[in-house]
Amino acid sequence: MRSQYVSFKLARQFLIAVMPFLYCTPVFGQPKQSQKLNIAVLDFDSRGGITKEEATTLSDVFNSQLVESGEFIVVDRNRTKAILAEQGFQQTEACSQVECVVEAGKILKVQKMFFGTIGKVGRVYNVTIQMIDVETASTQLTESQNHQVDLEELLTDVIPEMAATVTQKITGRPSKARIVSSGGSTWYWYVGGAVLVGGGAAAFLLKPKPATTVVDQDLPGPPKLP
């Protein structure tokens, strides 16, 4: 009986000793967080109704939103152009082809490459953004939208919102980037919310207070003359 008690005690001490190590291992603990993807953004290809300079500016905005999301390791745009230039890589309209994008990604030593096209037909802008896996040369994500807006709204609303959508599709989490616009639907939501909150506060402060009821009391009579 004593030997069984000693064996039980030793087994109990062993479990107490190794339990912390078991829970610290990946099998029993929380899953490791996935590492951030290394990415780069090429200049968007301009189509009819939009200039190359405008497409480049919109590419810069998309790139900035990906950086601000905090979800990726993004190669700086100026560094991207400098590295490609040093390697004799010339980004032309042909770089809207997958082979060209993959070649640029290998030069930059990134995992994913973003590129896109922006064009205008009549009063409608078409924006198509794709993500290419450099190793497999496969298109892993495509986001295409049509918007009948001004070019300014394309800059302040559409491109940032598309960047947020792309980020959420890749990570499964909403983007942390702040969408700042001077007009468009986003601006109206902010202003409308401010007016609603401000109006409610003003209504509370300006609400008339109930009148105070004065209760008649017996007043002392006039003093008696001597």
pLDDT in tens, 3-21: 555 455 566 666 565 454 4
Domain count, the chain: 1
Name the residue range of residue 89's domain.
Answer: 37-178
Contacts of 66 (CB under 8 A, 6+ apart): 39, 41, 72, 74, 114, 163, 166, 167, 177
Is 131 buried (19+), middle (13-18) or exposed (0-12) by CB count in 10 A? buried
pLDDT band at 148 (very low <50, low <70, confident <90, very high): very high
**In a domain? residue 140:** yes
For residue 216, pLDDT beyond 50: no
- The pLDDT score that the predictor gives to residue 29 is 40
What mean pLDDT comes out for the span 165-189?
Answer: 69
**In a domain? residue 191:** no
Cα(90)–Cα(79) distance, integer angstroms: 14
Cα(126)–Cα(30) distance, integer angstroms: 43
- The pLDDT score that the predictor gives to residue 26 is 41
**In a domain? residue 194:** no
**Residue 19, number of CB atoms within 10 A of its CB:** 11
Q: To which residue do tokens 């042909």 refer?
A: 94
Cα(64)–Cα(58) distance, integer angstroms: 10
pLDDT per residue as tens digits for the range 78-95: 999 899 888 887 655 447
For residue 101, pLDDT beyond 60: yes
CATH at 105: 3.40.50.10070
**In a domain? residue 23:** no
**In a domain? residue 153:** yes
**In a domain? residue 97:** yes
Q: pTM (2 decimals)? A: 0.65
**In a domain? residue 72:** yes
Question: Which DSSP string corresponds to 149-180?
Answer: --HHHIIIIIHHHHHHHHHHHHHSS-------
Minimum mean pLDDT among 148-152, 157-161, 211-215: which range? 211-215
For residue 225, pLDDT beyond 80: no
For residue 176, pLDDT beyond 80: no
Cα(144)–Cα(132) distance, integer angstroms: 15
What mean pLDDT comes out for the span 38-54?
Answer: 93
